Amino acid sequence: MPDRFKLNLVQRPRRLRRTASLRAMVEETVLRPADFIAPLFVVEGKGRPQPIASMPGVFRYGVADLVKECRALAKLGIPAVALFPKLDHRLKDADGTAALNEDGLVLRAVRAIKEAVPEMTVMTDLALDPYTSHGHDGVLTEDGRDVANDRTVALLARMAVLHARVGVDLVAPSDMMDGRVGAIRAALDAADFTYTGIMAYSVKFASAYYGPFRDAVGSAQAAGTPKLSKASYQLNPANRREAFTELALDEAEGADILMVKPAGPYLDIIRDVREATNKPVAAYQVSGEYAQLQAAARLGWLDLARTRRESLLGIKRAGADLILTYFAKETAAELA
């Protein structure tokens, strides 16, 4: 085709892609460190941070090192952390009683962070799976064939009040029990913690992408029983409409932030949620999403920096206001 050939076009979208500055001027989705919540794992002891084999670059921290990590995150402009404990198996039992220990690991960690980095927003997981010997998110019925919904909710409400007392900004129920948001809100209000917020795992799917997380909190081997699957309380990955039921219930019961988990495989759900509510929407880029990008990059198949950024842009573009991601620190440093 001769170079002198010209199409008679009025619209040429490439005009605004010609230079880096033009592309920046018309960029529609912008990532900021303030978009990120960093999930952090806390463990007893004063030794060096423990690497998690299935999550390269992610560690379990003793409380002192956890505080150092929070200081580093705050300097990068990351406003919030979400804490997850790994307990010694000797502290676990069928009823997760360690979750109600008033001097438990998570509560001590919150106190330390709030004293050292008071500007950091701290949120804590409300679920019993790190505390139960069977690895489920609640206490079981006598026959072990189901999670006892209402008994579990009562424990979660007590757990929320304990967390609020040590200064948690947001409690994050991830258990997917029916009615737990309303019960937690009522318990917090009755205890005069009206300003402790709830970030509800409103749309949490029974996903295969959680495996590395269960390694991190030490529940992988115990997760589930021959009689009971987490699919009995987490959403079916095939169901889109059902997500609206969970969303509407959590919003009506008083959730302040609504979350979709996982993020990457459920971008359509994030968009649905964004269009259905005026509440802030969070999305959790889970451990399996993190691990697959790390693995492909280590094999030389993907550019890690570019793919992690693109994956986060996709989550925000779909409608997430907040993103829980294990890439928070690296991406914030890159953005800075």
Please give the share of the chain, as a percent, with pLDDT higher than 90: 90
The verdict on residue 149 lying in a domain is yes
261 is catalytic: yes
For CA atoms 73, 78, 80, 83, give the dihedral sign.
negative
For the residues 218-244, what does the mean pLDDT come to? 80
Cα–Cα distance for residue pair 239/279, rounded to 1 Å: 22
- Residue 173 inside a domain? The answer is yes
Mean pLDDT over all residues of the chain? Answer: 94
Q: Please check whether residue 193 lies inside any domain of the structure.
A: yes
* The pLDDT of residue 220 is above 60: no
Position 114 in a domain: yes
pLDDT bin (cut points 50, 70, 90) of residue 336 is confident
Exactly one of 86, 114, 261, 316 is catalytic; name it.
261
Q: Is 204 a catalytic residue?
A: yes
Give the CA diameter of the chain.
82
What tens digit of pLDDT does each residue of 118-168 get? Answer: 999 999 999 999 999 998 999 999 988 899 999 999 999 999 999 999 999
In total, how many domains does the chain have? 1
Over residues 73-82, the mean pLDDT reads 98
Catalytic residue, candidates 86, 92, 204, 279: 204
Burial of 275 (C-beta count, 10 Å sphere; 0-12/13-18/19+) = exposed
Mean pLDDT of 245-254: 97
CB 281 within 8 A of CB 272: no
Cis peptide before 262 (omega within 30 of 0): yes
- The percent of the chain in helix, strand and coil, each rounded to the nearest 5, is 45, 20, 40
Domain contains 119:
yes
At which residue do the structure tokens 């670059």 appear? Answer: 57
Does residue 19 belong to any structural domain of this protein? no
- Give pLDDT, residue 2: 60
Domain that holds residue 292: 29-335
Tell me how far apart the alpha carbons of residues 124 and 323 are, in angstroms, rounded to a whole number: 15
pLDDT by residue (tens digit) across 176-200? 999 999 999 999 999 999 999 999 9
Check which CATH number belongs to the domain holding 325 and give it. 3.20.20.70
